[in-house]
Structure 1
Amino acid sequence: MPHPLVLPLDHLALRGDPAAPALRLRGSVINHEALNLRIGRLAAWLLTRGLSEGDRAASWMGKTEIACLMPLAAARAGLIHVPINPLLKRAQVAHILSDSGARLLIAGTARLGTLEDGDLSEAKTIEEREADEALDGGGDALPASPGSRDTDDLAAILYTSGSTGRPKGVMLSHANLWLGALSVAEYLKLGADDVTLAVLPLSFDYGQNQLLGTWAAGGSVAPLDYLTAKDVIKACAKHQVTTLAAVPPLWVQLVEQAWMPEAVTPMRRLTNSGGALTPGLVIKLRGIFERADIYAMYGLTEAFRSTYLDPSLIDGNPTSMGRAIPHAEIMVVAEDGDEAAPDAPGELVHAGPLVAQGYWRDAARTAERFRPAPAWSRYGGTAVWSGDTVKRGHDGLLYFVGRDDAMIKTSGNRVSPQEIEEAADASDAVAESCAMGRKDESLGEAIVLFARGNGDEAGLRAHLKATLPNFMQPSEVVWLGEFPKNANGKIDRTALKARIAS
């Protein structure tokens, strides 16, 4: 299928007005001209570290300037960037370094000090301050990559959070990331005067596109490593933020805070992925941000992003995933391989130029997930078979049903955890929740509902009985003061599953 001209990823640094802000750091603002220059300097410095084209260069740090420049600097130098979530510990970092075959690791002194003998595998370590000195030293800068460069070359390996096993590296090309950035800029209607607050990890595909999508539109990014929800609100006011991206657990924290007018008034759009928004959460967001557009989205690292819901539809369809984003074809495939009928469940299959190149050095798992698109696909070629069950309504909107491996099989019924969670979250007793199955001799699986709220179990159960059928009622409610979160800020379902298995 035709798509816009694809250029090497580092050309994103050339799309903005040279004099306009591009990166808002704690003590300075870098314009687009300086952004391109500093990307070139960092790229040139990387090549003095003994690296060759195609080598993997890893970074393990917070949202510093180096962390923000690395995706484009590594691409300009012909390297493959491996961003590592700064919240990960030495065991996970050692696995990523070994699996990726990284030749270089840039990190701060404190993080490097946590590593032990053997953790680095083939990687040479460099302290982040050395890269900072190279940026400020006025050295040579590599020019932008030639437009003739093969954009099917790998630009990054993004490691999943590993909630279902050891993290696996998703291989993303220049074309994947370039078109992903253009797609996001288009459907979010980003402009050169937009300011994005980057609160999500830059190692997360959704987090990295806080940078890439904004720069594709010529806008500016304010990176933030926050400790509390109040830090996010203060940063929104300080930088006059127009675009805020988050995952549901963070939105839950944010709507529980008092928002100052100077943090609310500039806001144009809120974006959500990494889990569904609930109707109650949409109402709370709307109560704070009356004029901002709310974008509900669905994505998977293997295809970057798949769907978004037009903000004009969210109040009437708060649980919908929407429709395909630009440059994506989204199919709902029935068990027989045909297109699922309206309102019938099927597997979400994503085809088109955003589909990644597979898992790094893992042919077996690549073959499981990356398979030929259905014969009736418009794009054809290789597609990502998500493993997620969805349905498409008669109105053409998509709705998430559940992951095949997360569905609860109880009393002969297949129950979506999301449906139980949406019902629980709509009660006055619950702020956030997570439902899952526990093995049970008579039921097959009993439903366990983890909840954070006021502890009013009688009120919660009365609400659930009025809302859900008998076979969907929890056998047990476990109240938590705080949910465990994984490195990307999502609820850590693996940790919760371990609690009910022990």
Structure 2
Amino acid sequence: MSINCIRTIIENAANSHSDKTAVCFKNNSITYAELLNKVNQVACYLQELDLPKDSRIGIYSNKGIDQVIAILAILSTDYVLVPLTTLLKPEQVEYIVEDCDIQCLITDKKHLESIAVINFAGKVISYDTAGKDIPSFEEIYKYYNKSYSCDINSYSNAVITYSFGLSGKPKGIVISHRSLIDSARVVSQYLGLDETDVISGTLIFNLDYGLNQLFCSLYKKATLALHRLILPDDFFNHLINDKVTVIPVMPVHISQMFDEDEHRLPTPELFTHVKTITSSGGNVTAKMIKDCKRTFPQAKFYSMHGLTEAFRSTYLDPSQVEIRPDSIGKAIADVELYVINEDGKECGPREVGELIHRGGYIYKGFWNAPEQNALRFKSVQILKDVINIEGQLTDEIVVATGDYVYKDEEGYFYFSSRQDDMIKTRGFRLSPLEVESVVDKNIPQINQCAVFGIDNEQIEEEVVMVYSAASKIPEKEIIFELKKHLASYMVPSRVIYKKSLPLMQNDKNQINKAVLKKELSVK
């Protein structure tokens, strides 16, 4: 079996740290030996389903120890994991199921009803006993006690994660076993993680950032303390009760943490055990850093910048966070970053251009999306006027990120804008077209509608919808309808009525969103 797969580090941890707590959640915990045993039981059952190699298996459930077991069991087979956030509505789950042809869904009792709504024809497995026709982990743990072994190729497909792309439909990015291991290695190295760490498992597992917390824990034989983020008070209690040392969050979580009366926040003395805070998935503000420094005085703050097409490009060293809080940092180990203009020439200091990612952590590509792949995954020839590629193989792939950045005189990168009009809110990326298409399909009274993002320091961008109709529709009615079809983070926070919408001069079928944004910013 390859040394570059998640299965190897599970076995290594169980062999060397069998009695150590691997995962805890609320009042429950599981050791590394127990974890490997249960993973083997579920993996054995999955293999007996006798699905074709590389079949996709989805996980659609709330967070818990069984969810971790399911993830690791799938990664111990020759199947491919597709994590699905419970924020998605049934019709969105149905789209992903059909897009990558999911053959089996693992879920909890709470979400069985949602799966029934989409008339899923594949195999369904529940964590808890839910009826004689649905196999459960409870039964698998009781009856499957065979030995289990597997042989996994590091370059095989391991995971497909979905995010919202330019087409308005979610696009799956394919990640290999090798990429999962490489990501755990590099993060563990620059964060200085070790086996004494307790890593907060607050992030959802449909994001590679969330999955990385699990894999870093396994890689360093640390403990992953799962938590479902609901209220700031609950989160602070989780940090105290689980003695968390590493807090991976998104900027929106930091805003939520400190969106309370300052006098109600726990005292810093309760958090001296917290040594590291990491943030990715959006811009970090000076206020966020100040709030974290005040409440977690011993913690080093790492601001990081990742891509859909590659695990991570940059991180900002904690020594620089207060000096240059707006910077996304410098390239991580094994990555080269270049900023090029429209002519393919390298940009000078403080000249804005497109960020090109070369080297490690590049994913395999988008699932069933040749146009998207052609847009983002480029031949190294794109850098022919920047680097010397004489004599090199020219089939090397780099990522044209679509992120527009600039670099200062000391080599630190700063984010400027995105190539497309994607909205980044609460740590998620979404396409305006996804929301607009739902409006078009479900609210026929609306003639035209434009969805876009407006800067909001607390959540990166807030989703705004401007529409035209014969007469104004009560905002509550629009929101009520959209909530039926969209994940909560996709529902507009502001809905504005106008008798008519401005159009582009060169295309009278296209709404001029720039004019609308300008009007709102003036107000």
Contact 1:294 1:311 in 2 (8 A): yes
| Other-structure match for 2:51 | 51
Counterpart of 2:114 in 1: which secondary structure? coil
| Other-structure match for 1:128 | 127
| Other-structure match for 2:183 | 180
Question: For residues 61 and 296 of structure 2, what CA distance do their matches in structure 1 show?
Answer: 32
| Other-structure match for 2:376 | 369
2:145 to 140, 146, 152: 140
Aligned-residue sequence identity (percent) comes to: 27
2:255 to 247, 252, 271: 252
Question: For residues 63 and 337 of structure 1, what CA distance do their matches in structure 2 show?
Answer: 45
| Other-structure match for 2:442 | none
| Other-structure match for 1:202 | 205
Q: Partner amino acid for 1:352?
A: G
Mark the runs of 5 or more structure 2 residues left unpaired by the alignment. Answer: 129-134, 424-451, 467-482, 502-523
| Other-structure match for 1:81 | 81
Contact 1:196 1:242 in 2 (8 A): yes
| Other-structure match for 2:91 | 91
Question: For residues 21 and 366 of structure 1, what CA distance do their matches in structure 2 show?
Answer: 41
Q: Partner amino acid for 1:80?
A: V
| Other-structure match for 2:9 | 12
Q: Partner amino acid for 1:101?
A: D
Counterpart of 1:302 in 2: which secondary structure? coil
Question: For residues 488 and 68 of structure 1, what CA distance do their matches in structure 2 show?
Answer: 23
Counterparts in 2 of 1:138 and 1:324: CA distance versus 1, 3 Å: farther
CA drift at 1:138: 6.1
Counterparts in 2 of 1:263 and 1:223: CA distance versus 1, 3 Å: farther
Counterparts in 2 of 1:176 and 1:114: CA distance versus 1, 3 Å: same
CA drift at 1:141: 5.4
Mark the runs of 5 or more structure 1 residues left unpaired by the alignment. Answer: 409-416, 426-430, 440-483
Q: Encode CA deviations 1:473-495: one digit per residue, 9 max, x unaligned.
A: xxxxxxxxxxx9x9999x65x83
Q: Encode CA deviations 1:321-364: one digit per residue, 9 max, x unaligned.
A: 11112232222222211222121111112122311111112222
Q: Encode CA deviations 1:426-483: one digit per residue, 9 max, x unaligned.
A: xxxxx666479999xxxxxxxxxxxxxxxxxxxxxxxxxxxxxxxxxxxxxxxxxxxx
| Other-structure match for 1:231 | 234
Counterparts in 2 of 1:82 and 1:229: CA distance versus 1, 3 Å: same
| Other-structure match for 2:432 | none
CA drift at 1:238: 0.7
Contact 1:61 1:85 in 2 (8 A): yes
Contact 2:10 2:36 in 1 (8 A): yes
Contact 1:8 1:145 in 2 (8 A): no
Q: Encode CA deviations 1:404-445: one digit per residue, 9 max, x unaligned.
A: 22499xxxxxxxx99x95xx85xxxxx666479999xxxxxx
Summarize the alignment of residues 290-309 of structure 1 with structure 2, pairs less than 5 Å apart: 290-309=297-316
1:334 corresponds to 2:341: yes
1:114 corresponds to 2:114: yes
Contact 2:465 2:492 in 1 (8 A): no
- For the aligned residue pairs, the C-alpha RMSD in angstroms reads 3.1
CA drift at 1:207: 1.0
Q: TM-score scaled by structure 2?
A: 0.76
Summarize the alignment of residues 256-271 of structure 1 with structure 2, pairs less than 5 Å apart: 256-257=259-260, 258-261=265-268, 263-271=270-278
CA drift at 1:161: 4.3
Q: Encode CA deviations 1:5-44: one digit per residue, 9 max, x unaligned.
A: 9512221213432332211133332222222222222211
Question: For residues 250 and 494 of structure 2, what CA distance do their matches in structure 1 show?
Answer: 21
1:318 to 316, 325, 332: 325
Summarize the alignment of residues 376-391 of structure 1 with structure 2, pairs less than 5 Å apart: 376=387, 381-391=396-406
Counterparts in 2 of 1:348 and 1:290: CA distance versus 1, 3 Å: same
Contact 2:19 2:31 in 1 (8 A): yes
Contact 1:101 1:123 in 2 (8 A): no
Question: For residues 302 and 144 of structure 1, what CA distance do their matches in structure 2 show?
Answer: 32
| Other-structure match for 1:495 | 492
Q: Partner amino acid for 2:4?
A: L
Question: For residues 81 and 32 of structure 2, what CA distance do their matches in structure 1 show?
Answer: 21
Counterpart of 1:10 in 2: which secondary structure? helix
Contact 1:197 1:224 in 2 (8 A): yes
Counterpart of 1:179 in 2: which secondary structure? helix
| Other-structure match for 2:157 | 154
| Other-structure match for 2:68 | 68
Counterpart of 1:171 in 2: which secondary structure? strand
CA drift at 1:75: 1.9
Question: For residues 51 and 154 of structure 2, what CA distance do their matches in structure 1 show?
Answer: 20
| Other-structure match for 2:131 | none
1:219 corresponds to 2:234: no
Counterparts in 2 of 1:30 and 1:354: CA distance versus 1, 3 Å: same
CA drift at 1:196: 0.9
Question: For residues 500 and 141 of structure 1, what CA distance do their matches in structure 2 show?
Answer: 63
Summarize the alignment of residues 410-425 of structure 1 with structure 2, pairs less than 5 Å apart: 421=455
Contact 1:155 1:172 in 2 (8 A): yes
| Other-structure match for 2:470 | none
Q: Partner amino acid for 1:366?
A: N
Q: Encode CA deviations 1:375-401: one digit per residue, 9 max, x unaligned.
A: 328897112211110111111111111
Question: For residues 186 and 487 of structure 1, what CA distance do their matches in structure 2 show?
Answer: 38
Question: For residues 401 and 407 of structure 2, what CA distance do their matches in structure 1 show?
Answer: 15
Contact 1:243 1:270 in 2 (8 A): yes
Question: For residues 144 and 9 of structure 1, what CA distance do their matches in structure 2 show?
Answer: 14
Counterparts in 2 of 1:341 and 1:496: CA distance versus 1, 3 Å: farther
Question: For residues 169 and 226 of structure 2, what CA distance do their matches in structure 1 show?
Answer: 28
Question: For residues 296 and 364 of structure 1, what CA distance do their matches in structure 2 show?
Answer: 31
Q: Partner amino acid for 1:290?
A: P
Counterparts in 2 of 1:70 and 1:437: CA distance versus 1, 3 Å: closer
Counterparts in 2 of 1:286 and 1:141: CA distance versus 1, 3 Å: farther
Q: Encode CA deviations 1:177-228: one digit per residue, 9 max, x unaligned.
A: 1101111111111110101111111111111111112221211101112321
Summarize the alignment of residues 373-452 of structure 1 with structure 2, pairs less than 5 Å apart: 373=380, 374-375=383-384, 376=387, 381-406=396-421, 421=455, 434=461
Q: Partner amino acid for 2:400?
A: W
Counterparts in 2 of 1:25 and 1:85: CA distance versus 1, 3 Å: same
Counterpart of 1:57 in 2: which secondary structure? strand
Counterparts in 2 of 1:52 and 1:437: CA distance versus 1, 3 Å: closer
Counterpart of 1:160 in 2: which secondary structure? strand
Counterparts in 2 of 1:40 and 1:29: CA distance versus 1, 3 Å: same
Question: For residues 89 and 74 of structure 1, what CA distance do their matches in structure 2 show?
Answer: 24
| Other-structure match for 1:41 | 41
Q: Partner amino acid for 2:145?
A: D
CA drift at 1:150: 2.6
Number of equivalences = 432
| Other-structure match for 2:445 | none
| Other-structure match for 1:467 | none
Q: Partner amino acid for 2:158?
A: A
Counterparts in 2 of 1:234 and 1:407: CA distance versus 1, 3 Å: closer
Contact 2:282 2:460 in 1 (8 A): no
